Amino acid sequence: MSDTDKFDEQNNDENGEPTRRDFIYIATGAAAAVGAAAFAWPLVTQMSAAADTRAAGSIEIDLSKISEGQQLKVLWRGKPVFVRYRTQEEIDAADAVDIASLPDPQTDDDRFVPNFSGVIDKRILVMVGVCTHFGCIPVGEQGKIDAQGAFGGWYCPCHGSHYDTSGRIRQGPAPTNLPIPEYAYISDTVIKVG
């Protein structure tokens, strides 16, 4: 038994109730714990995205530069955005799918925002080109038929996820469809992403 314990025992109240000394111990411990947590907070939080990274903000994409069957890849927040001018066959293929059979059910129309005139233009598909499995870039550019996967859309070479012409996951380990970024038409031919 240490000297402190002996001292403490002598100072204990006869009924074994907490004394002023007990109170000081607990208060000191609590203050130290709060202080340690307050100090740890900046040490942990410094690792979050810094202000300049968060300010990466939004980009504008000119749609007039792509023609039917082509795809544009634009870097946005360190990730590529796919802008695909779909052919009529690709749109028909996306519409023909039984929604209930999809791992992440979504209609083709759900994957668009209204254009500048307020109607949905299913020709221009805008997606974040990052596989929802482990973040690789799926392949499926115009002209590379072999690389478009089993459903004519995109294929992720890392772990074999197949996406259809609407960017919806059809086969493979990816859990969800290729995400649609936050974007809006700011004129007939220009969209703003982010």
Kindly indicate which of the ranges 1-9, 27-35, 47-55, 87-95 contains the residues binding other proteins, using the contact rule CB under 8 A: 47-55
Q: Is 51 in the site for other proteins (CB under 8 A)?
A: no
Asked if 78 is part of the footprint of other proteins (rule: CB under 8 A), the reply reads yes
The answer to whether residues 79 and 128 touch, using CB atoms and an 8 Å cutoff, is: yes
By C-alpha distance, which of 146, 141, 150, 147 is closest to 170?
150
Tell me whether residue 162 is one of the annotated catalytic residues: no
Alpha-helical regions (H) of 46-149: 51-54, 88-95
d(CA 126, CA 116): 15
Q: Which is nearer to other proteins, 80 or 121 (CB)?
A: 80
CB proximity list for 95: less than 8 A, separation 6 or greater: 108
DSSP category for residue 26: H
Closer of 1 and 47 to other proteins (Cβ):
47
Instruction: Pick one of 50, 51, 55, 145: the residue that binds other proteins (CB under 8 A).
Output: 50
77 binds other proteins (CB under 8 A): yes
User: Would you give the binding string for other proteins spanning residues 124-143, x where CB under 8 A is met?
Assistant: ---------xxxxxxx----
DSSP state for residue 117 in the 8-state scheme? T
Task: State both tokens at 29.
Answer: 């411990």
Helix H or strand E encompassing 24: helix 20-45
Question: Binding-site residue total for other proteins (CB under 8 A)?
Answer: 28
Q: Is 55 a binder of other proteins (CB under 8 A)?
A: no
Q: Is 102 in the site for other proteins (CB under 8 A)?
A: no
In the complex, which residues of this chain contact other proteins (CB under 8 A)? 47-50, 53, 56, 73, 75, 77-80, 133-139, 156-160, 172-175
Q: Which residues are catalytic?
A: 159
